[in-house]
Amino acid sequence: MKFKFSKMHGCGNDYVYADCTQQEMSNPEAVAKYVSRYHYGIGSDGLILICPSETADFKMRMFNADGSEGKMCGNGIRCVAKYVYDHGLTDKNPVSIETLAGTKEIELTVENGKVTEARVDMGKPETRPRMIPMITDHYIFVDQSLVLRETSIVGTDNKTYKEKFFFNGTAVSMGNPHFIVFVPDVDALDLEDLGPQFEHHKLFPEGVNTEFAQVLDENTVKFRVWERGSGETLACGTGACAVTYACMKLKKAGSMNKPLNVHARGGLLKVTYCSENDHIYLQGPAVEVFTGEIEIPDCEL
Ligand SMILES: N[C@H](CCC[C@H](N)C(=O)O)C(=O)O
């Protein structure tokens, strides 16, 4: 199977993008696994398809490195908007893109005919447990935060994890599930060890993206992320929005209608909570690195 692709990233959260406006791709789950392998494929956090839509200008389908389909991708949707504008598929600005988490509107910043950054209306954050989804039996809430105390957990992958860990976190959905844990020093964490324990915790029946956040001052927070289906990535757009909402809800940082500076390992995202419509707005760069064509042996699919 052969297809043309564009390699793009938002703050280092990189995906392989395939233009499927003329022809759909069969078994994208298998393609996502192949292109994400860092030494045998192209190397990426996953695959994003740009598809036609009956209800919006375009549709985005995103697949994590393990082939699982995500409902929304904040860094990815900025790159989709850049792709369709730069490659002449549309001259609209703003552009609307349908996702499994609803249709999003993206305002483009254009310099010399190319999109350099974009601002996404990410919609409303959701914190009701059953909407995350999160099963909160046997857990307690402490001042709106969820306190996990486990002697040992068996994950949804039936592995038994760490004898004891204790975290105080907050769950927010941006159309996909996030659990935000505030820590004193994100750089001191061993995410390879911690990440899977949250991702596969029975508390989250559909898995979870986990952000470890460190407040630097009232206008600045930094975070690392262990993404569901992709592991640690250099940035997570929906995660930055979830972190911003958690910071405001717990009065740790940020203020309404003013951008919070959210530093991911791969770059800076500016996130604003608008009190007028309860929507969160995500602003950040979108970069096309190179284009190419790849032939994937049928035996790999
Ligand atoms: N791993 C996520 C999808 C990608 C989100 C992230 N890359 C972003 O920029 O929002 C999930 O399965 O819900």
pLDDT in tens, 89-139: 999 999 999 999 999 999 999 999 999 999 999 999 999 888 999 887 656
Burial label, 270 (beta-carbon count in 10 A; 0-12, 13-18, 19+): middle
User: d(Cα 127, Cα 171) in Å, to the nearest integer?
Assistant: 6
pLDDT: which is higher, 201 or 236? 236
Statement to judge: residues 85 and 136 lie in one domain: no
Residues 6+ apart with CB under 8 A from 277: none
Statement to judge: residues 147 and 189 lie in one domain: yes
Largest pairwise CA distance in the chain = 57
The mean pLDDT of 216-240, rounded to a whole number, is: 98
Residues 6+ apart with CB under 8 A from 163: 151, 152
Statement to judge: residues 159 and 81 lie in one domain: no
Q: What is the pLDDT of residue 81?
A: 98
Q: Is 236 a catalytic residue?
A: yes
79 pLDDT higher than 90: yes
CB atoms within 10 A of CB 133: 16
The amino acid present at 280, given as its one-letter code, is I
253 DSSP 8-state letter: S
With b for 16 or more beta-carbon neighbours within 10 A and e for fewer, the 224-251 pattern comes to: bbbbbbbbbbbbbbbbbbbbbbbbbbbe
* φ/ψ (deg, to 5) at 111: -130, 125
Overall number of domains in the chain: 2
Ligand 1 centroid distance, CA of 49 (Å)? 14
Statement to judge: residues 105 and 211 lie in one domain: no
Instruction: Please tell me whether 192 is known to bind a ligand.
Output: no
Q: Is 73 a catalytic residue?
A: yes
User: d(Cα 220, Cα 173) in Å, to the nearest integer?
Assistant: 21
The mean pLDDT of 180-184, rounded to a whole number, is: 91
Q: Mean pLDDT, the chain, as a whole number?
A: 91
Instruction: Please tell me whether 64 is known to bind a ligand.
Output: yes
What is the domain extent for residue 66? 2-121+286-300
Instruction: Please tell me whether 276 is known to bind a ligand.
Output: no
Q: What is the pLDDT of residue 299?
A: 86
Measured over the CA atoms of residue 121, residue 123, residue 125 and residue 130, the dihedral's sign is negative
Q: Is the CB of 13 under 6 A from ligand 1?
A: yes
164 pLDDT higher than 70: no
Statement to judge: residues 154 and 249 lie in one domain: yes
Backbone torsion region of residue 18, taken as left when φ is above 0, otherwise alpha when ψ lies between -120 and 50, otherwise beta: beta
Statement to judge: residues 82 and 161 lie in one domain: no
Structure tokens at 97: 């893109």
Q: Is the CB of 227 under 6 A from ligand 1?
A: yes
Q: What is the pLDDT of residue 113?
A: 95
Ligand 1 centroid distance, CA of 78 (Å)? 13
Find where tokens 């989709």 sit.
Answer: 80
Q: What is the pLDDT of residue 163?
A: 45
Statement to judge: residues 158 and 270 lie in one domain: yes
Ligand 1 centroid distance, CA of 55 (Å)? 23
User: Which ligand 1 atom sits closest to the C-alpha of 15?
Assistant: 7
Pairing of strands 287-295, 2-10: antiparallel
Whether the CB-CB separation of 156 and 205 falls below 8 Å is answered with: yes
Angle between helical axes of 74-86 and 237-249 (0-180°, round to 10): 130
Statement to judge: residues 115 and 134 lie in one domain: no
Q: Is the CB of 231 under 6 A from ligand 1?
A: no
Q: Report, in this order, helix, strand and coil percent for the chain, each rounded to 5.
A: 20, 45, 40
Find where tokens 């601002």 sit.
Answer: 119
Statement to judge: residues 21 and 117 lie in one domain: yes
Statement to judge: residues 135 and 270 lie in one domain: yes
Statement to judge: residues 272 and 145 lie in one domain: yes
ipTM: 0.99
Identify the CATH number of the domain in which residue 69 sits: 3.10.310.10
Pairing of strands 267-274, 279-285: antiparallel
Statement to judge: residues 144 and 61 lie in one domain: no
